[in-house]
């Protein structure tokens, strides 16, 4: 049988052993190196970098690439932006905020003169009804011409103009289930007055 002193020494040594094991495990964990973490490269911006670029009365984010930035102008899509960037000799990945002011002025001029330098099928307004010319509308002109076209259709009372006036769908979509306006249609049941007799019941004589 172990003495009381032996029991005390064993009980005292147990927590020390545990502490020693924990310390060793901690050192081993620190010694093990995980997969190397890739550090994000710090991008140094030029002092002349512009975070907002003004193009055709539109504020464009300077952090965006040239193609995405140009497509932020109303009336300029991805294909049109690629054509303009290629004609200006600017790489696609160039940030639009890195461009100097003379280059952005050149881009703006190319956007306004776009219809003169491309085939007629690449513009967004072919054979204008009033002038017969092929135009490419950008900026505020897109919405202004759209309103004028709708007002003209209403004035001459064509089918599309009448549908615009009524607030209905214009391009031949179904209107039975979607685009319903006005009061909701359905069955309205009349409430029976107290003491009234139903249809199936017969009055007692």
- The pLDDT tens digits of the residues spanning 137-157 come to 999 999 999 999 999 999 999
Percentage of residues of the chain with pLDDT beyond 70: 70
Instruction: List, for residues 66-83, the tens digit of each pLDDT value.
Output: 999 999 999 999 999 999
The pLDDT assigned to 21 comes to 57
Q: How many CA atoms lie within 13 A of 58 on its CB side?
A: 20
Domains in the chain: ranges and CATH:
52-122 (1.10.8.50)
Whole-structure pTM value: 0.62
- Which residues, other chains included, contact 133 with Cβ-Cβ below 8 Å and sequence gap of 6+? 127
- Say if residue 30's pLDDT is above 80: no
- Say if residue 199's pLDDT is above 70: no
Read off the pLDDT band of 190 (50, 70, 90).
confident
The pLDDT assigned to 47 comes to 77
The pLDDT assigned to 189 comes to 72
Higher pLDDT, residue 32 or 109: 109
């Amino acid at each position: 049988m172990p003495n009381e002193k032996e029991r005390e020494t064993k009980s005292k040594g147990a927590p020390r052993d545990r502490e020693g094991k924990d310390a060793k495990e901690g050192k081993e964990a620190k010694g093990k190196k995980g997969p190397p973490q890739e550090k994000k490269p710090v991008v140094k911006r030029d002092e002349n970098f512009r975070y907002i670029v003004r193009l055709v009365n539109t504020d464009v984010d300077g952090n965006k690439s040239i193609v995405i930035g140009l497509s932020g102008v109303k009336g300029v899509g991805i294909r049109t932006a690629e054509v303009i960037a290629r004609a200006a000799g600017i790489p696609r990945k160039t940030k639009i905020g890195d461009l100097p002011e003379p280059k952005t002025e050149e881009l703006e001029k190319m956007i306004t003169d776009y219809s003169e330098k491309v085939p007629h099928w690449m513009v967004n307004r072919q054979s204008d009804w009033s002038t017969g010319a092929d135009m490419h509308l950008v900026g505020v002109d897109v919405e202004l011409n759209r309103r004028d076209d709708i007002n003209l259709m209403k004035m001459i009372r064509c089918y599309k103009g009448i549908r615009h006036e009524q607030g209905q769908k214009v391009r031949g979509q179904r209107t039975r289930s979607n685009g319903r306006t006005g009061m909701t249609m359905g069955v309205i049941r009349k409430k029976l007055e107290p003491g009234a007799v139903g249809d199936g019941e017969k009055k007692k004589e």
